[in-house]
């Protein structure tokens, strides 16, 4: 699973090992996370230079460039105009210029961006989720194999794998502290995210791209975009992936024209090969009780984990079996980059996170397929389904596959009526 292979050497220019040469980085997708990841790469303290930026929109590059340049200056931020790539295809050129790439566009593009970065033999940090549909997952799995063959380090931003409470507590679970895991509950319940209002003159493609969260080809629905973190923890604890899912969901609160096609709640039971059932719930209901965490039940005790550095193991009689020290835990977003760049400068092949990330993303997509159809959907059906949500053509005047009706509302899934394919 993600977060560190048995150590193997790989071929990188010797100069990295000596720390003498610059490591060139490029960022693809210059929004909040891409910009944050560039900061974290610089804050590793290695000899790093940002040499290229790519984004669908010029204004997003400008908004990202300024704070990076203001903090790190011309010596580290060497991105002249001809290395700021705008549009759908710029990622290929940006990747060419770098040794290490940060892939942080919306998840629908990740399979193509990852495949290209692997093809070009680059070291990779990529954000989760890593796809939004079955075709995308299959592409990422194939590229993950190729990355292993080429010994390219791949770290994925499922940062709980780089967070000490998760690492240490799950190690205790795997060592048998609470027996065999026979059940669990994972949650991402919060109030939801931003909306960008439609602007006069925008093409449908631009509107959807500016509002990527609400369209499945770009986002995968919030069960994929956010809840993947908690589902990934369940898979990590279980050391396997579910064999089937059954669920319910819909649009109860967030129903406007501004909210595209995604649901605002999903509730799914995931069954694993040993018949363990993990219950999963995610919702975007402003004003309702928030909850983002994971609980598991074992044959001899129970576990509680959360991103707030919790890691508690308790026997069924209430005795504490393990309690993670919550003080001074390092920021996992920084640890991801510290560990990735440390491996790169030493010429080590240490990280192959892509396969697990693809399978945890597939888990979340499987959940969406189950809530959209209202049927039991198996892992094999979901992974092999002929489902490719990407537009046939990526251009500002091309049409995405899901379009609004005459009143401006988008079609959305109706459980019991919507078919898997």
CB of 302 to ligand NAD, least distance (A): 26
CB of 63 to ligand NAD, least distance (A): 8
* Distance (Å, whole) CA 367 – CA 236: 17
CB of 56 to ligand NAD, least distance (A): 4
Lookup result for tokens 């380090």 = 153
Please classify residue 36 by burial: count the beta carbons closer than 10 Å to its beta carbon, then call 0-12 exposed, 13-18 middle and 19+ buried: middle
State which of residues 157, 301, 374, 400 lies at the interface with ligand NAD (CB under 6 A): 157
Residue 127 is a binding residue for ligand NAD (CB under 6 A): yes
Residue 107 is a binding residue for ligand NAD (CB under 6 A): yes
Residue 31 is a binding residue for ligand NAD (CB under 6 A): yes
Q: Looking only at residues 57 through 86 of this chain, which bind ligand NAD when binding is defined by CB under 6 A?
A: 57, 60
State which of residues 16, 42, 65, 109 lies at the interface with ligand NAD (CB under 6 A): 109
Which DSSP symbol is given to 352? B
Which DSSP symbol is given to 256? S
Spatial strand order in the sheet of 320-323: 320-323, 310-315, 301-306, 291-298, 181-190, 277-284, 265-271, 244-250, 377-378
Which one of 24-32, 264-272, 320-328, 362-370 is the stretch in contact with ligand NAD (CB under 6 A)? 24-32
Residue 32 is a binding residue for ligand NAD (CB under 6 A): yes
Do 189 and 288 touch, CB atoms closer than 8 A?
yes
Residue 29 is a binding residue for ligand NAD (CB under 6 A): yes
Do 131 and 383 touch, CB atoms closer than 8 A?
no
Residue 91 is a binding residue for ligand NAD (CB under 6 A): yes
* Distance (Å, whole) CA 28 – CA 102: 6
Do 86 and 58 touch, CB atoms closer than 8 A?
yes
State which of residues 2, 12, 52, 56 lies at the interface with ligand NAD (CB under 6 A): 56
User: Which residue sits closest to ligand NAD, CB atoms considered?
Assistant: 31
Give residues in contact with ligand NAD (CB under 6 A): 28-34, 54-57, 60, 88, 91, 104-107, 109, 127-128, 157, 159, 209, 225
């Amino acid at each position: 699973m993600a977060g560190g292979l048995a150590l193997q050497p790989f071929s990188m220019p010797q100069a990295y090992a000596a720390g003498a040469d610059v490591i060139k980085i490029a960022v693809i997708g210059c929004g909040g996370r891409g910009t944050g990841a560039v900061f974290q790469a610089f804050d590793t303290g290695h000899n790093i230079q940002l040499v290229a930026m790519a984004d669908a929109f010029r204004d997003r590059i400008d908004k990202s460039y300024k704070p990076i340049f203001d903090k790190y200056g011309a010596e580290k931020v060497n991105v002249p105009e001809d290395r700021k790539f705008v549009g759908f295809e710029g990622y290929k050129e940006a990747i060419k210029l770098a040794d290490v790439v940060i892939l942080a566009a919306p998840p629908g593009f990740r399979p193509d961006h990852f495949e290209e970065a692997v093809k070009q033999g680059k070291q990779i940090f990529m954000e989760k989720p890593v796809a939004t549909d079955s075709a995308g997952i299959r592409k990422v799995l194939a590229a993950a194999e190729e990355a292993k063959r080429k010994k390219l380090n791949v770290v994925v931003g499922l940062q709980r794998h780089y967070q000490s409470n998760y690492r240490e507590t799950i190690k205790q679970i795997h060592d048998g502290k609470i027996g065999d895991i026979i059940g669990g509950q994972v949650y991402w319940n919060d109030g939801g995210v931003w909306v960008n209002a439609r602007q006069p003159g925008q093409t449908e493609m631009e509107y959807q791209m500016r509002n990527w969260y609400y369209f499945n080809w770009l986002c995968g629905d919030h069960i994929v975009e956010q809840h993947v973190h908690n589902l990934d923890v369940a898979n990590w604890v279980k050391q396997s992936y579910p064999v089937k899912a059954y669920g319910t969901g819909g649009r109860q609160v967030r129903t406007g024209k501004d909210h595209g096609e995604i649901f605002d709640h999903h509730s799914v039971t995931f069954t694993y090969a040993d018949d363990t059932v993990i219950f999963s719930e995610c919702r975007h209901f402003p004003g309702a009780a928030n909850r983002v965490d994971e609980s598991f039940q074992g044959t001899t005790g129970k576990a509680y984990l959360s991103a707030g550095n919790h890691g508690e193991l308790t026997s069924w009689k209430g005795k504490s079996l393990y309690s993670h020290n919550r003080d001074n835990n390092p920021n996992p977003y920084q640890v991801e980059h510290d560990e990735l760049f440390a491996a790169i400068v030493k010429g080590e092949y240490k990280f192959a996170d892509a396969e697990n990330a693809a399978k945890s993303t597939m888990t979340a997509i499987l959940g969406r397929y189950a809530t959209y159809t209202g049927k039991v959907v198996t892992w094999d059906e979901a992974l092999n389904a002929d489902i490719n949500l990407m537009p046939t053509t990526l251009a500002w005047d091309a049409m995405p596959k899901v379009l609004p009706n005459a009143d401006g509302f988008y079609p959305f899934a109706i459980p019991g009526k919507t078919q898997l394919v």
